[in-house]
Every structure is written in C-alpha cells, then in structure tokens.
C-alpha cells in the first residue's frame, strides 16, 4: 500500500492541515489546548467508536507519561470533553471537506479508484438524505423544524450523503455531505433536492475527467435535477421512477404497452434454491413529465418472478439518459439497484455499526453538530480506505470476523497498552492471532 494512505500518514496529514484552522479565542484566553488538538480528539472518538477512549488515554498519560491519542492520532494535549466542544463549535464544517477530496485524489493518483468503475465504464455516485439529530428541546440556527400530528415541534439535522458505489462490492466510498439547513434569504425550508443541486454545483467539476452516473430514489427523478446532470454537467443519471409520482410518463408507457411497443428481454437465473425469471422491459425517448418542454428519457423496468409459482420477488423501474438496449439493460439495472448501498452500506452502517450517527455528541450554538457529523463520516471513510487497501487491516478484519470484535480488540488494547504506531498495533494483534504477515 502507498504510504500516503496509511493511517499513520493520514493522521500526520490531518494534524498539519487542522493546525491551520482558525482560532477565535481572545488572546487572554487559556491556550493550553490548540484547535487541532480539539478536532483530532473528537476524530479519535469516532474512529475508535469509543466515548471513553480519551479518558483512558488521559489515565495512561498520568501513569506512564505517554498515550495512544498522541502516538496514533497526533493529539499533543488531550482536552476535556467540554473543552473539545468549545474548540470545535466555532469551526465551519466546510473546513473539513477538502480532507475527503485529498483521500479521493490520492486514490485516483495511485489507480485505486479504478476498482469503483463498473461494467458500463462509469462511476456510480448514489445520493440520499439522512437525518442525524432530532429533539423537541435542543435547537440551533442550523436546525430544520417539523410539527407532528400532536402539534409538537421537532428540531432536527439532515444531510445529503453522496457515496461512490459499485455492484458486487461491499465497500462504499463516502464524499463530503451537503447539509440541509435554513438558507439565507429563503422563506421556504431547505429540502433534499435543493441540497443535492448545491452539492452538484459545487463539486461536479471534480469529476470532469470521469464518466459519472448519479443514482437516487424516486425523489430525484424530476426534470430540473435530471436536466442539470444531463445538459449542464454532461453526465448520466439512473433514478428510480414510480407510477404514482410520474403520471404523465406512465400514461405514455400505457399507450406503448397497448400497441406492443415496449421492448422486452427475459433471462433465467438460478439462485441456488430455485429458478427465477428476470423480465426487463424498456422504452426510449419518452417525456419525463407532461408539457412541451418535457425532458426525454429512457425508461426500463425489472420484474423478477419465481419460475414455478409466478410470485413476484422484486419489481422496480428507472429512468436514465444512458442509451438502453437489450444488450445493456441488465448492466444498467445492476447499477440502478446499487443505490440501495447508500442506505445499507453507508447510512445504516453509520447509524447501527458503532458510529452512532444519530447520537447527539454535542449541539453547540454555532456549527458543532454539523462539524461532528462530518468528522464521524471522515472516520468511516478512513476505515473504508484501510479495508480496501491495507493488507494488515484486511487480515485482521477477516481473522476476527465480526466488526464488533475488531473494534472491541482495538479499544481493549489501547486502554492498557501504548503503541508507537498503527503498524505496531496491527502487528501486535497479528502476532497474538498467529497470523503470518506478508513480506514487504
């Protein structure tokens, strides 16, 4: 693995970058802890998935004069939890977006990004919204609001979480979030579609050298967004398209079906237990909505049925600006279906696999909640990169089996022992498991 993407090098890079973050404290304030120490300490909690990691490192420091927060995460002095929140709250979450692009650029320069290119010779980028905080009492200027049926007002935070996905690959590659927040000068509350457009306007240029296919659920299959992607940015989309929200389009499909103009291809699959019939139907250049200015799109559908009983096992339909033919409709459907990975492999992992994304780590009065959310996502990205590229990390994850066991071992070892580097920590676990490291 190239050194620039090792954990030790990435943490040194973060230390260097985050040391330039603005410090808004007055000159006469206590400066024992730097802003970088506050950010690195918060990041360490998310990376280790342990709210008590810093407390254990403070104890090690008091007993042994050394600690893993410094050797593994480059923290010079460990602030208390309230001090971390005070240091982080004034920062802007956008200060950390460049850290995601640094990692992606390093992966591209080392040809690692190629593993996300699919059979359509494009990179699939899924978009979806996620809520990561909700309360009836705690709020800030960045909160959205909603009122439930009982009349109670709820404050919450949401974001768009774009990720690169590939059919058949377990890992996803998260990119910077776009937070859904009240917008200056806007009376209406911000929404997922507007956030997606802001994200695209800001970052589409980073993919100009690649063919990118944007994936999303039915919410994204609307003309303004599809036109933005197809006509302005010259990229592709594959969005879920449901009959109840696209009446005009499905009226056209009904007319084509009556006239026998829908093209159909059927494939038989064996799933190890039963035979399945996969029927693909598609239609070309039909209007996405009613009106003379309607964008023309290609529509395709997959219906999977049990070969013996005829029971429908799966059904979904999509719109795209990719050419659709009998030869590529199966690959297009695979790419379109990969959008579920943003929910299962990204959002669900963040919520239920130790990152506790929905937990209120601190709301603050400025941008604390959003900064902590983006640091949590960055921690997830670093684990993903190690899982993709670091042989020692891969061997340990495979040998230990469950993700929970891996993190439990990291937390237990770093509670009682001090390691000079991540390589030393991984080597110690490998020795304990009697794994044979690969030759350098």
Same domain, 183 and 330: yes
Residues 344, 385, single domain; the answer is no
Inside any domain, residue 380: yes
Across 408-434, average pLDDT: 95
Who contacts 428 (Cβ-Cβ below 8 Å, separation ≥6)?
413, 417, 419
Contact 237, 126 (CB under 8 A): no
Least Cα distance to 335 among 113, 111, 168 occurs for: 168
Q: What is the pLDDT of residue 110?
A: 93
Q: Which two tokens stand for residue 298?
A: 């290609």
131/280 same-domain check: yes
Evaluate whether residue 439 is within a structural domain.
no
- As a whole number, the mean pLDDT across the chain is 91
Residue 27, CB half-sphere, CA atoms under 13 Å: how many?
A: 0
- Give the contacts of 181 (CB within 8 A, at least 6 positions apart): 142, 144, 157, 190, 370
Listed range (90-99, 155-164, 307-316, 358-367) with the worst mean pLDDT: 358-367
Domain boundary among 315, 348, 381: 348
| Whether 70 and 131 share a structural domain | no
Rounded Cα gap, residues 263 and 276, in angstroms: 20
Q: Which of 179, 183, 178, 186 is nearest to 202 (CA)?
A: 178
- Asked if the structure places residue 357 within a domain, the reply is no
Q: How many domains does the chain have?
A: 2
Token pair 């956008």: residue = 94
| Nearest-angstrom CA–CA distance, 405 and 399 | 10
**Is residue 167 domain-shared with residue 52, that is, in the same domain?**
no
Residues 255 and 315 in one domain: yes
Shared-domain flag, residues 230 and 283:
yes
User: For 189-195, what is the mean pLDDT?
Assistant: 82
Same domain, 162 and 294: yes
> With the C-alpha atoms ordered 68, 73, 77, 78, is the resulting torsion angle positive or negative?
negative
377-417 pLDDT, tens digit per residue, is: 999 999 999 999 999 999 999 999 888 999 999 999 999 99
Question: Is there a domain that residue 109 lies in?
Answer: no
Q: Using the predicted structure, report yes or no on whether residue 314 has a pLDDT greater than 70.
A: yes
Clarify whether residues 289 and 384 are in a common domain. no
Q: Given CA atoms 197, 132, 94, 4 in this order, what sign does their dihedral have?
A: negative
| 210-219 mean pLDDT | 96
In the structure, what pLDDT confidence band is assigned to residue 187 with cuts at 50, 70 and 90?
very low
Tell me the pTM: 0.90
Residue 146 lies in a domain: yes
Q: Tell whether 355 is covered by a domain.
A: no
Do 333 and 387 fall into the same domain? Answer: no
User: What pLDDT does 183 receive?
Assistant: 64
The confidence band for 366, taking pLDDT boundaries of 50, 70 and 90, is confident
Domain assignment present for residue 438? The answer is no
Spatial distance between the Cα atoms of 211 and 24, rounded to a whole number of angstroms: 42
State mean pLDDT over 266-291: 94
Which of 314, 348, 382 is a domain's end point?
Answer: 348
Shared domain for 331 and 370, answered yes or no, is: no
Q: Rounded to whole angstroms, what are the CA distances from 166 to 123, 230, 321?
A: 8, 21, 19
Q: 289: domain range?
A: 119-348
Residue 24's contacts (CB-CB under 8 Å, 6 or more residues apart) are: 90
How much is the pLDDT for 185?
44
HEC profile of 223-271: HHHHHHHHHHCCCEEEEECCHHHCHHHHHHHHHHHHCCCCEEEEEEEEC
Which of 348, 377, 400 is where one domain is finished? 348
Q: Are residues 125 and 195 in the same domain?
A: yes
């Amino acid at each position: 693995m190239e050194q620039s993407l090792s954990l030790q090098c990435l943490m040194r890079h973060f230390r260097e970058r985050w040391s330039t973050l603005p410090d808004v404290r007055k000159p006469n304030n206590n400066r024992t802890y730097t802003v970088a120490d506050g950010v690195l300490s918060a990041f360490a909690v998310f990376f280790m998935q342990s709210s008590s990691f810093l407390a254990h490192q403070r104890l090690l420091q008091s007993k042994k004069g050394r600690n893993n927060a410094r050797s593994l995460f480059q923290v010079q002095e460990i602030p208390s939890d309230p001090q971390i929140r005070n240091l982080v709250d004034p920062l802007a979450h956008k200060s950390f977006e460049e850290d995601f692009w640094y990692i992606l650029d390093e992966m591209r320069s080392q040809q690692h990004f190629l593993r996300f290119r699919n059979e359509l010779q494009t990179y699939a980028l899924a978009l979806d919204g996620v809520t990561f905080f909700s309360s009836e009492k705690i709020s800030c200027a960045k909160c959205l609001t909603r009122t439930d049926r009982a009349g109670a007002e709820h404050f919450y935070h949401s974001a768009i979480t774009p990720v690169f996905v590939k059919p058949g690959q377990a890992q996803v590659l998260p990119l910077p979030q776009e937070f859904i927040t009240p917008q200056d000068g806007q009376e209406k509350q911000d929404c997922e579609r507007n956030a997606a457009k802001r994200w695209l306007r800001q970052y589409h240029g980073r993919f100009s050298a690649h063919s990118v296919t944007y994936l999303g659920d039915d919410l994204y299959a609307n003309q303004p967004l599809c036109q933005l992607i197809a006509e302005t940015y010259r990229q592709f989309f594959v969005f879920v398209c449901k009959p109840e929200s696209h009446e005009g389009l499905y009226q056209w499909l009904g007319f084509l079906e009556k006239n026998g103009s829908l093209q159909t291809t059927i494939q038989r699959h064996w799933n190890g237990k039963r035979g399945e019939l996969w029927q693909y139907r598609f239609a070309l250049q039909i209007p996405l909505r009613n009106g003379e200015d309607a964008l023309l799109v290609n529509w395709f559908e997959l219906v999977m049925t049990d070969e013996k009983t005829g029971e429908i096992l799966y059904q979904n339909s999509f719109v795209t600006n990719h050419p659709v033919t009998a030869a590529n409709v199966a690959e297009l459907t695979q790419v379109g279906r990969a959008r579920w990975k943003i929910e299962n492999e990204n959002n669900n992992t963040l919520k239920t696999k130790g990152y506790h994304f929905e937990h209120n780590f601190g709301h603050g009065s400025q941008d604390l909640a959003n900064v902590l959310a983006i640091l949590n996502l960055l921690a997830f990205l670093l684990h993903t990169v190690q899982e993709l590229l670091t042989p020692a990390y891969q061997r340990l994850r495979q040998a230990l089996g469950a993700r929970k066991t891996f993190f439990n071992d990291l937390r237990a070892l770093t509670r009682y022992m001090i390691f000079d580097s991540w390589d030393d920590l991984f080597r110690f676990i490998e020795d304990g498991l009697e794994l044979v490291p690969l030759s350098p």
